[in-house]
Amino acid sequence: MTIASRRLPLMLPVLVALLLAATAGRAAAGSLDIPVRGHGLSFGNSRTFTGLRLNLRDRDLVDIKGVTVSLWAPRRESSGSIRGLALGLVGTAPERFEGLTVNLVGVGADQVRGVAIGGLGVGCGDFQGVGIGGLGIGGDRLQGVMLGGLGIGGDDLTGLMAGGLGIGGDRLTGLFAGGLGIGGDDLTGLFIGGLGVGCDRLTGAALAVGGLGADRFEGLAACGAYLRGRELDGVGIGGYNRFDDRVDGLQIGILNFARELHGVQIGLLNYAGNNRRGTKWLPGINCHFGD
């Protein structure tokens, strides 16, 4: 056993004692700063500090730069900013964070720029960067690369994202993969859902083992079972391929249905509602060109 390894167990009680002593009082600074206040090494709740900061529980932060370690969840609402490396057992929750933060339980902030890793999850208002949440990631606006063990949810999602079970949001732009499925209002990009993808409007490509559903598809929509929508402008592939308003493009499936077809259908049985009587239902191939 080395000298350093023998001294480490002796140093830990000293560090804990310093933290307790620094945070027990009601002093204005609430910390013991070495060598001068605001710079160097800090034990306790220093609110404005540059250097290495060790604290039991953050409270009323103003501006922290460098490396900060917090053992417990923050007291009161989030405030101030942390720039640098933030480590925590329970959680780190400033108002603004820039840098790398790793927490055993979770990460929370109003605004994040950088890398956030939470054992259980990551939750924020505006996040740009790389996020990894053991259970999931949630926020108002997420941009970048995100990985959620169970799922990802937010209002506006942009980038490359994967959720173990699924992904849901109002607007999704980029490349998304959901173990079970993906749901949203307006989807643009490439979407891969294990069981299905559902939305109001999809522009790009959607792939699913199960089914796909949207009011309007623009691009490629392919699934193994039920493809359903009002309008298709592109290519639709599915076991049962049904569009209740209009199809502009190509349908491929066992059974293809288009209330109004402007293109080609290839399948075991095809229906084009705007064809002449006797040619609405056709096996193999059906088509309609013109008005």
How many angstroms separate the CA atoms of 244 and 79, rounded? Answer: 52
Place of tokens 């209740």: 244
pLDDT of residue 12: 46
Q: What are the phi and psi torsion angles at 288 (to 5°)?
A: -155, 125
CB 44 within 8 Å of CB 60: no
Q: Alpha carbon of 220 to those of 192, 217, 236, 247: distances in Å? A: 12, 8, 6, 12
Q: Return averaged pLDDT per consecutive 10 residues of the chain, 291 residues in all.
A: 46 48 46 93 95 93 95 82 94 90 90 95 94 95 96 97 96 96 97 95 96 97 97 98 98 98 98 96 95 72
Q: Which two tokens stand for residue 55?
A: 């604290």
CB 27 within 8 Å of CB 43: no
Q: Any idea what the Cα angle at residue 198 is, between residues 196 and 204, rounded to 5°?
A: 95
For strands 281-288 and 261-272, give the pairing.
antiparallel
Q: Any idea what the Cα angle at residue 149 is, between residues 130 and 140, rounded to 5°?
A: 55
pLDDT of residue 77: 75
Q: Which two tokens stand for residue 184?
A: 């949203």
pLDDT of residue 106: 87
Predicted structure pTM score: 0.86
Q: Where are the domains of the chain?
A: 169-291
